[in-house]
Structure 1
């Protein structure tokens, strides 16, 4: 999968940081419970065109396998061939510029039918992920947590947060419930003030206003305000800054998961009333030398044997835990903290 990805994947691979991928495979690939048993637990095609999180990477039989999670559900291990690394970004409200989209139609990526495009153009969508494909920057747009498609960044209009007081309004001023200017709301002249512009799409003159009646959408051309108060447009993040944001988020999430794991394991061992670290058995061995010079009482011998068995059992549990996937993860975490 690496050769198809952008330059930042090298850092992800070298530091083994959890990350996101857009599942886009041409073959029907299986999902395995482990990379050793190869017990099939599902099919990757059931999650085609979805964004998944990679929690770990392992190599087995000269292939790389990725441990996947989708919407909080851990799926298992799967090989990824065509899927691409994508980066989470701070959520941003956007609208599709239909004309720009049509002009750039040859480089657009769809998850939903193209017939739904005209429905989407009037919607305010959430931009939550970004990726690079063939040198083009794409953003994943969501509506009510459902992925609607990948659109090139230059075909989107972006909402900007502002705080601009409105002095008054012109004849024809109307307010609406929705950003596509539908569901008109009757204006109460006594309650409408004060008015502030809190969000705006400057390219199309669309504004979200905060009023004494509540928050509504309107056409900015009917508002009276100080136009010099509108700041110059500056993109909130470039691609490199988005990648850094994504890595910080993922590392923070990994740390949270590790701490939860440590707390859970600690709680389990407390309930089991056993020691995590293997105890030193030299004292017991010293008490029972190989060559006995004096006979030992039968009861004492029995107690010593039970004690030895108990310590060996604890040591086996410790080694099994230490060599498990979660144990290795925790050991690696401790080494990084040194």
Structure 2
């Protein structure tokens, strides 16, 4: 019996900009909508010095040019349903070391091989689409680290055929993305207002709770703890929340608590962040646990070999 095909053919795209991230550009072109790069370049001028992607700018560009977007906390079965409806979904996944997170287009899945297929286009001169197949269980664990966020962009008539009915979740998640933009622009009071609105729509939105904790943490407010803790009640694999709590307790010199949360984050994903090892090494040294501090500094360099402070860290390793 022939296997049913669960794979979408996506266009080859090289162009991207911080305000027109590659996944948004790929999905828009899939729907035969060309988003103007000149427009994205003009908008990006207000983000001078920022290195990441601003997804909400790409989403709003797609909407200005006739597409509709919904953002949900989802599941593997729903992800497959979206693909089988002919819509390429975008998911938020953990980044490689020193990149907090990244958006990825899912091109399909293989139930026989138990894999999820990713679109990986890196300016390939031959114009060949590259695809990455990730074992389904690994994908789901990594996706859960970001709350299983799913971005669906499509023409409104196609989108309305999907049974994605949780409008409160959609509105709440959109406000999270808006808040991230406001935070990048240093509009902290506006960012907090957006997150307060997000939590009115969906009080148990782990993403909104985490982001609120993060902004309050950046302002050195102990109020961050209750938001982080509630986020973890909803999603026990929220890596960034454990890291955030570790950072707060490190700043406030509560070393045992900091160590506990950093260690929990590392257990979830040992390779996700190099900096977490450097932070834990600092507190281990304060606790006179030099051999453990040394091991953490070695891991910091292992996962971030091009660290600008490599020489200083190597010296510290020799001295411990």
After TM superposition, the score normalised by the length of structure 2 is 0.23
Name which one, 1 or 2, has greater alpha-carbon Rg.
1
> Comparing both chains, which one has the higher relative contact order based on Cα–Cα distances under 8 Å and sequence gaps of 6 or more?
2
Greater share of residues in strand: 1
